[in-house]
Structure 1
Amino acid sequence: MPPAPDGPHTPHSTGLPALDAPSAHVEALAERGMQRHYRRGTLIIQEGERGDTLYIVRSGRLRAFVADASGKELTLGLYGPGEYVGEMSLDGGPRSASVETCEPTVCAVVARDVLLTYIAEQPGFALELMARLIRRARLATDNARSVALIDVYGRLTRLLDQLATAPDAQGQRTVTERLTHQQIASHLACSREMVSRLLKDLETGGYLATQERRLVLLKPLPARW
């Protein structure tokens, strides 16, 4: 599940609700959906297809991505419990991205008519939905800027900084997601070999280590490499 590029949301500056706390609306809406269980690696949304359902994650994790004809992928975001995907196609248009499960996942699948009925009953949820769409649009813009204007190392350090925990007593930060080199490459729009080389260089330089298949940032990463 990806962090917002703008830092903590400030409701007073935009009039939009904060998104950090679990949403009571999302929980209530999930109760109206159909609970479905998916195995790891299940493609639940196909880019380009027509769809009118919203998927709310109850447990597990989803990955949204786009792919070209050769199979090269770009990861758009990771989504965990309390988050949802599929809202972009509720206007009747085609799906803008594919979504697959990263692990065994349970989702509440909410049909468009159920969502519209809930919004009519609880109009405040429309503002919350709009705020999330705005945040995702900003994130998409930020990611596009990153791919176009920042080199691969810069994109790597940006991703690690976003995913890492706060520093512990020793100043070390842990990337809680167990990401493979290929998964990181999909986030950065580069080759797996490039990711492997950069991570190896950082490990040799004493900036990074791997513990229980998780990346640990031993000290602040250099601005340039």
Structure 2
Amino acid sequence: MPTRFAASISPSQEPSQHVAALARRGVQRRYRRGALLIQEGETGDTLYIVLEGKLRAFLSDENGKELTLGVYGPQEYVGEMSLDGGPRSAHVEAMAPTVCSVVSRDQLLIYISEQPEFAFELMGRLIRRARLATESARSVALIDVYGRLVRLLNQYLDKALEPVAQERRLRERMTHQQMAQHLACSREMVSRLLKDLETGGYISVRDRWIWVLKPLPARW
């Protein structure tokens, strides 16, 4: 089974009117879970805008190891890195049944000529992704696994839900394997750390949802 770990995960962004308008110019396509939309190294000139579902961008080596670069949901897009005419820089697969609007490079350039402010939005997203990648690399290099776990749990706390007696739930169900992909460690390490936190009364697992019961200690 491939070993997978993640460098970063894309944060949710406010829906963009430009992205919605550009999506209407593309061709809608449906992809089953696990379908490979983009292969690293291939030549491509299309942008994939997610309408429904979720995509994962990742790198892999000949031994089956994978490095997740980002996860993208509705109103986000992938494939823009190859619009300069270069080869694709990563693989992209559907994490769930997904609907995308596939926009050609020509259509994108026409849209930018009509709406030049969208070029700044495009650059802004590229910059944010670069910063996320830099922060993730720093985290993996300089912070221990427990410290990365605390950051991940705090990052995923659902701020939209009112706390129950100061308890907060993560905004997504995450398996131990998925968490290990974000932390660049083994699933066994995640399981051991979560068990210790649960025993210490810091977290609780209810119906496969993780709840943080009180502030997590900075060190373990």
Structure-1-length-normalised TM-score: 0.88
- 1:140 aligned partner, one-letter code: A
Offset at 1:74? 2.3
- Once the two structures are superposed, residues 41-73 of structure 1 have per-residue CA deviations (whole angstroms, 9 ceiling, x without a partner) of 212122222221111110111122222322222
Change (3 A) 1:184 1:48: farther
Structure 1 residue matching 2:109: 3-state secondary structure: helix
Whole-angstrom distance in 1 between the partners of 2:130 and 2:80: 12
1:106 aligns with 2:99: yes
Question: Contact 1:38/1:106 (CA < 8 Å) preserved in 2?
Answer: yes
Structure 1 residue matching 2:173: 3-state secondary structure: coil
**Among 208, 211, 216, the residue aligned to 2:206:** 211
Whole-angstrom distance in 1 between the partners of 2:192 and 2:40: 31
1:142 aligns with 2:138: no
Determine the structure 2 residue equivalent to 1:15: none
Change (3 A) 1:111 1:49: same
Determine the structure 1 residue equivalent to 2:120: 127
Structure 1 unmatched ranges of 5 or more: 5-19
Offset at 1:99? 1.6
Structure 2 residue matching 1:201: 3-state secondary structure: helix
Whole-angstrom distance in 2 between the partners of 1:160 and 1:68: 28
Structure-2-length-normalised TM-score: 0.90
Question: Contact 1:3/1:162 (CA < 8 Å) preserved in 2?
Answer: no
Determine the structure 1 residue equivalent to 2:41: 48
Whole-angstrom distance in 2 between the partners of 1:181 and 1:48: 31
Change (3 A) 1:180 1:169: closer
Determine the structure 2 residue equivalent to 1:168: 163
Structure 2 unmatched ranges of 5 or more: 1-8
- 1:100 aligned partner, one-letter code: E
Whole-angstrom distance in 2 between the partners of 1:43 and 1:100: 4
Question: Contact 1:76/1:187 (CA < 8 Å) preserved in 2?
Answer: no
- Once the two structures are superposed, residues 77-131 of structure 1 have per-residue CA deviations (whole angstroms, 9 ceiling, x without a partner) of 2211111111111111222222211211111111111111111111010000000
Percent identity over paired residues: 70
Q: How many residues align?
A: 210
Determine the structure 1 residue equivalent to 2:10: 2
- 2:153 aligned partner, one-letter code: L
Alignment of 1:1-225 (within 5 A): 2-3=10-11, 20-166=13-159, 168-225=163-220
Structure 1 residue matching 2:24: 3-state secondary structure: helix
Question: Contact 1:73/1:189 (CA < 8 Å) preserved in 2?
Answer: no
Q: Which has the higher contact order (CA 8 A, sep 6+)?
A: 2
Aligned Cα root-mean-square deviation (Å): 1.6
Structure 2 residue matching 1:110: 3-state secondary structure: strand
Whole-angstrom distance in 1 between the partners of 2:139 and 2:52: 30
Question: Contact 2:10/2:129 (CA < 8 Å) preserved in 1?
Answer: no
Offset at 1:175? 1.7
